[in-house]
Amino acid sequence: MADPRPIGVFDSGVGGLTVARALMDLLPDEQIVYLGDTARGPYGPLPQPTVRDYTRQDVDWLITRDVKMVVAACNTATAAALEVDPLRFDRPVVGVIEPAVETAIRATRSRRVGVIGTEGTITSRSYDRAVARIGGEATKLFSQACPRFVTLVEEGRTTDPEVLEVARAYLAPLVAAQVDTLILGCTHYPLLTGVISYVMGPDVVLVSSAETCARSVFAQLIDHRLLAHHAGSTPGTVDHRFASTGDPATFARLARRFLGPRLSDSEVLAASDVATSS
């Protein structure tokens, strides 16, 4: 049975748009409702109890928009609210950590896997637990926080010499550890794929948590018979909705770096009621 309700996607800012874009590519018939909590983000430096509260409010706000599934397109939110002590909701909520780990475990040859992310994601040790659970004791995980990457991406800087210098400093321990697979454990990081791949070398497989999450959503929609199947629709004709808890114009300007011409100023709505949603 077809389910025309939209898929809800949220992040603490614009990075989760890499997940939204991957969903648009894989599921062109599905409508996306995206919430960027730019007024309170980024979540990376925040205490986990605060992130859990914000995550609940984000999901509740999307549920009031009658979404059929919610995607936590934020590694920090996934770690704080969906992993060890998961919050409960009356809609399926998909995170970004487990799909990425499953892909990395399948890809690694040496059983030496790296992950990069925000301070909040890395210190939560959620990737460590997922790798131990899925890959077993034989798989070794090497973690590195890369907080400046988010700022650089949002400034639109992905290839200049300073970006390369920062990447070399962050990634040096992972190069020394001789990982053969690297999880991009932040949804901003796919925009830095070129420089990260250059520093890590051509033999290291990069695993995008955005792309692996989108494939997991695709599978769950099929398994639970939730696909939209809009009659007569063609790719690119579905109307997506975007909302920001901060300034919509600022959100739209940053979001174009992730979505390009798919987004215009007029399509971003204010979502000042997120903190009061229940």
> Which of 23, 42, 41 is CA-nearest to residue 33?
23
The answer to whether 69 and 220 are in contact (CB under 8 A) is yes
DSSP labels for 113-135? EEEEE-HHHHHHTHHHHHHHHHH
Q: β-strand 181-184 against 241-244: which pairing, if any?
A: unpaired
List the catalytic residue out of 33, 145, 186, 205.
186
| SS3 of residue 10 by DSSP | strand
146 is catalytic: no
The answer to whether 9 and 71 are in contact (CB under 8 A) is yes
How far the first Cα of the chain sits from its last, in Å, is 29
> Which of 16, 58, 121, 118 is CA-nearest to residue 278?
58
- As given in the structure block, the two tokens for residue 141 are 């995980």
Per residue, the 3-state secondary structure of 207-248, as one string, reads EEHHHHHHHHHHHHHHHCCCCCCCCCCCCCCCCCEEEECCCH
Non-local (6+) Cβ contacts of 111 within 8 A are: 135, 138, 139, 140
List the catalytic residue out of 63, 67, 72, 74.
74
74 is catalytic: yes
Residues catalogued as catalytic: 74, 186
